[in-house]
Amino acid sequence: MLLLTSSNCFVTKDFLRHLPKKPQDLRLTFIPTAAEVETGSLSWLDDDRQALIDAGFPVTDFTFVGKNSTEVSNMLDETDFIFVASGNTFFLLQEMKKSGFADLIQKYVDQGLIYGGSSAGSVVAGPNIDLIKSLDDAQLAPELSDTVGLGLTDVIVLPHWGSAHFKTAYENNISTAYAKGRKIILLTDDQYLLVQDNTYRIESI
């Protein structure tokens, strides 16, 4: 199961109904890696984490930075629900690949691990992150050799649709996004994409 959001804090209470167990019975690992290169207030990161805590999840933080595939695999073995928070999508993907997470995650999802994402965490779940270049600074990920995503879904999520803060960036990017063969879903902050049993649907609160 994938739960892909723009801003998790707005939709957490709603997506609980899709989970196989109560929040307190699911070990949740929160990944703040994408925010580690962000500057200024990180209140949005705190809001996303707190929403999960308030919902009843036992939350443990884990970063991909400086980790190897053994450490990542051990973390995944002890996790029922991995939630990848927002920030810089390019840096996040770089660290996912360096740590070995990108090579491991599909197996765990196939075995029943729940993957959740907020903004950058949702974008990387798709086939490619190239369309996010007008929103995030790719120069913050100098070791990223390509923009191929995790491929957990064939849909590209573009988050924060309708937000005034991202309007100009999206207007500059729409010509690139408009291409035959791309599957794109635009998510507002009060929507999320549920991917389950090879089907997907947009849920709104």
- Element of type H or E holding 82: strand 81-84
Scanning 100-200, the segments in alpha helix (DSSP H) are: 101-110, 120-123, 167-177
Q: What angle is formed at CA 187 by the lines to CA 140 and CA 194, rounded to 5 degrees? A: 105
Catalytic site residue from 7, 99, 118, 119:
119
Instruction: State the Cα torsion 19-20-25-26 to the nearest 10°.
Output: -60
What are the percentages of helix, strand and coil residues in the chain, rounded to 5?
40, 20, 40
Q: Is 21 left (phi over 0), alpha (psi -120 to 50) or beta?
A: beta
> Cβ(76)–Cβ(27) under 8 Å?
no
The half-sphere exposure of 133 on its side-chain side, counting CA atoms within 13 A, is 13
Give 180's contacts (C-beta < 8 A, 6+ positions apart): none
Catalytic site residue from 160, 163, 175, 204:
160
The helix/strand/coil state of 103 is helix
Check if 119 is active-site: yes
The catalytic residues are 119, 160
